[in-house]
Structure 1
Amino acid sequence: MKKSETPLPDLLSDLKGFLDEKADFYNNHDFIENDPVRIPHRFSLKQDIEIAGFLTATISWGNRKSIIHDAEKMMRFLEDSPFDFIRNVSLKELKILENKSIHRTFNGEDFTEFILNLKRIYSENESLEQLFLVHRNEENFYHSLERFRSAFLGSKQHRSHKHVSSTYKNSSAKRLMMFLRWMVRKDKKGVDFGIWENIDQRLLSVPLDVHTGNISRKLGLIQRKQNDWKTVLEMDSVLRVYDAEDPSKYDFALFGLGVSGDF
């Protein structure tokens, strides 16, 4: 322990040990096979990983098998070369997506708009990372995610806007936080990519959804009943004490315990 650190009370220390053990247990290569993160793992080019990861994260609600199935459907449409496809696609080629079902309420019209937005973004930026940068005086992604939302969606009003969460409306932004974890977090376990160099993983939060929220309440990590941004901050206040350098690693513990039924 560093001299500047304050020892945790025994109960909190025991909980930290339990969560550290579970995070290590679930955070391994076997996790990839049944998780949506398997989709971007099909690629090696940075921009392919970003696009596949972002689109997969966008539809990541509901049954994981269904998410993976529908994300694979999107990759097939992108000819399994997302960056090249998006850079060169024409409006005429996208007409086929009209009236198509992609994933639940995310339909062909939404997918078309996302493709066009990505085409515009990559014409101006080498990487999506530039749109998520955190300013020096910011301690989390509250403002960063809203800046991304504005830049990605642009000024045009479209039904697809509902698929990009707004922290300014108190959303937990679970899917965007999951995408950030994939792109930013660096370790040697092989699940997360860690391909973004200009965002500090210390600023990451656990993607808050039904599984992580319910398990966190059972463990006493959070008290709020809603899965919203205020609860993300409440969880941060504990998990950043447990591991200030890598707080989002606890996503593996909380999510793993939730979906496995081990808790």
Structure 2
Amino acid sequence: MNKKDLKDFLDNKVEQYNKPDFITSDPIQIPHLFTKKEDIEISGFLSATISWGNRKSIITNCHKMMDFLDQSPFDFVMNHQESDLEKLEAFVHRTFNGLDFITFIKGLQHIYNNHDGLEAVFNKHAQNDSLQQSIHYFKQTFFEIEHLQRTQKHISDPLKNSAAKRINMFLRWMIRPNNTNVDLGIWTTLNPAQLSCPLDVHSGNVARKLGLLKRKQNDGKALAELDTALRALDSDDPVKYDFALFGLGVFEKF
């Protein structure tokens, strides 16, 4: 397949999967429950954080998270008492447990109280063609609070060669425009050209079969290689192809 044929093929797949029907089987449905900016971004961040494993289990546990936060994530983050955090200890999703959940609530409160919120932190270190450095500094900022060392593993660091799939997915949700009612597009200081693909086993395997990726490991170097290939197809919105790669892998077993 030459470059034009590949682009046409993938553009058609983007059109096929970048539709509201996609939401029903994806954790992006959680931030769609809210209308306030801070509720959307907090629910999205927490949902993306636990987005690994069985998709049905992920979505079930994302809903449980919102129940623990009284369906008002921003209000809970900003106004909780220490006694309110005790109920969170019962939460568990794979290796993300209640103590991690409590740390994340405190980390988010720190971000809003001292760093003007999530969007401002990511924007502060953004580069014209990448947010990977922003993720690194976000993690540093997030864990300025007292925390358990084990909790750090739940935010990946691209500068340590991680593909950072879940946080790149969260950034896609926040930054890509809401013109198809899938991504939320609530962050206006950043733009889709800066995004990186949420590289996982599905998108990675499909990308290799299509010749977009040669590196075998799904790590930071592979992400950089895939980013280059996708930017060659659409420099303004390279991560729209996440829908094509993921859809081909999960729904079509390509």
TM, length-normalised to structure 1: 0.92
Match of 2:227 among 236, 240, 244: 236
Match of 1:88 among 79, 82, 89: 79
Task: Please state how far the C-alpha of 1:138 moved relative to its aligned partner.
Answer: 4.9
Match of 1:37 among 8, 28, 46: 28
Q: Which runs of 5+ in 1 are unaligned?
A: 1-9
- Cα displacement string for residues 36-68 of structure 1 (whole angstroms, at most 9, x for unaligned residues): 000010000000000000000000001111100
On the 8 A contact 1:134/1:199 being kept in 2, the answer is: no
Residue 115 of structure 1 corresponds to 105
Separation in structure 2 between the aligned mates of residue 59 and residue 15 of structure 1, nearest angstrom: 33
Separation in structure 1 between the aligned mates of residue 91 and residue 109 of structure 2, nearest angstrom: 21
Separation in structure 2 between the aligned mates of residue 61 and residue 182 of structure 1, nearest angstrom: 16
Name which of structure 1's ranges 68-77 and 130-139 shifts more when overlaid on structure 2.
Answer: 130-139
Q: Structure 1 residue 224 and structure 2 residue 212: aligned? A: no
Task: Please state how far the C-alpha of 1:135 moved relative to its aligned partner.
Answer: 4.4
Task: Please state how far the C-alpha of 1:156 moved relative to its aligned partner.
Answer: 3.5
| C-alpha RMSD of the superposition | 1.5
- Cα displacement string for residues 107-126 of structure 1 (whole angstroms, at most 9, x for unaligned residues): 00000000111112111244
Separation in structure 1 between the aligned mates of residue 86 and residue 126 of structure 2, nearest angstrom: 43
Q: Name the SS of the counterpart of 1:140 in structure 2.
A: coil
Greater Rg over alpha carbons, structure: 1
Match of 2:16 among 10, 25, 47: 25
Q: Structure 1 residue 183 and structure 2 residue 174: aligned? A: yes
Residue 258 of structure 1 corresponds to 249
Residue 169 of structure 1 corresponds to 160
Task: Please state how far the C-alpha of 1:239 moved relative to its aligned partner.
Answer: 0.7
Match of 1:50 among 41, 53, 62: 41
Match of 2:239 among 245, 248, 251: 248
- Cα displacement string for residues 212-235 of structure 1 (whole angstroms, at most 9, x for unaligned residues): 001101111100001011111101
Give the paired residue count. 253
TM, length-normalised to structure 2: 0.95
Separation in structure 1 between the aligned mates of residue 78 and residue 186 of structure 2, nearest angstrom: 21
- Cα displacement string for residues 85-126 of structure 1 (whole angstroms, at most 9, x for unaligned residues): 11110112112333x242110000000000111112111244
Q: Name the SS of the counterpart of 2:246 in structure 1.
A: helix
Q: Which runs of 5+ in 2 are unaligned?
A: none
Residue type of the partner of 1:151? T
Residue 103 of structure 1 corresponds to 93
Identity over the aligned pairs, expressed in percent? 53
Match of 1:76 among 67, 71, 76: 67
Residue 5 of structure 1 corresponds to none
Match of 2:203 among 203, 212, 217: 212
Q: Name the SS of the counterpart of 1:227 in structure 2.
A: coil
